[in-house]
Amino acid sequence: METLFFLIVAAIAVITSILVVANKNPLNSALSLIMTFFCLATLYVMLEAPFMAAIQIIVYAGAIMVLFVFVIMLLNVRTEAARRGKHALFLGTMTGLLLLIQTWYTVGRGSLAGVRGPVDSALIAKVGHTELLGTALFTDFLLPFEITSILLLAAMVGAVILSKKKL
């Protein structure tokens, strides 16, 4: 049952991500990408990470994609007139497929390390995923968390400066 559900969600994710690349209209690409993000959020729930699923929908499918759709509509980008030439298309596709084959081969060869951490389904059910993440974030990962705030501030200032009238 779980495998069937996984296969369905994975198939939808792959089809919509192909649509992102294949669609001529950028707006259709953006909508397909939102669908891919929703499929990934479903997979996160299956992987017992409900908080990450919520963040995926709120931050990715919500905030970031709204920004994309907003810019596409603001710039009024029409369907692109010319695609890349045949050679670029062929070489790009071949590079992508080569990457896929290489990754597939490597994944098939390796196996998971025997060492397991302390977190399992019972602990997540007892303590709660959000609380576990919060504890880790504010104890072991406090410095990276603080640096993240500086990164966001820099990005905010950068975005404001870049979109000024006279650059």
Site for another protein in 46-85 (CB under 8 A): 46-49, 51-52, 55-56, 59-60, 63-64, 67-68, 71-72, 74-75, 77, 80, 82-84
Give the integer Cα–Cα distance in Å for 57 and 55. 5
Q: Is 74 exposed, middle or buried (0-12, 13-18, 19+ CB in 10 A)?
A: exposed
Closest CA to 63 of 37, 28, 39, 89: 37
Letter string b/e over residues 87-109, b meaning 16 or more CB atoms within 10 A of that residue's CB: eeeeeeeeeeeeeeeeeeeeeee
Q: How many other CB atoms sit within 10 Å of the CB of residue 36?
A: 20
Query: Is residue 122 close enough to count as binding another protein by CB under 8 A?
Result: no
Cα–Cα distance list, 49 to 9, 118, 149 (Å): 16, 15, 24
Residues 6+ apart with CB under 8 A from 84: 92
Q: Minimum CB separation from another protein for residue 99, in Å?
A: 5
Q: How far is the CB of 121 from another protein (least distance, A)?
A: 9
43 binds another protein (CB under 8 A): yes
Q: Which of 97, 125, 128, 142 binds another protein (CB under 8 A)?
A: 97
Does position 88 interact with another protein (CB under 8 A)? The reply is yes
131-160 positions binding another protein, by CB under 8 A: 132-133, 136-137, 140-141, 144, 148, 151-152, 154-156, 158-160
The least distance separating another protein from the CB of residue 125, rounded to whole angstroms, comes to: 14
Out of 8, 104, 128, 142, the residue judged to bind another protein by CB under 8 A = 104
Q: Judged by CB under 8 A, does residue 44 bind another protein?
A: yes
Site pattern 4..33 for another protein (x: CB under 8 A): --x---x--xx--xx-xx----x--xx--x
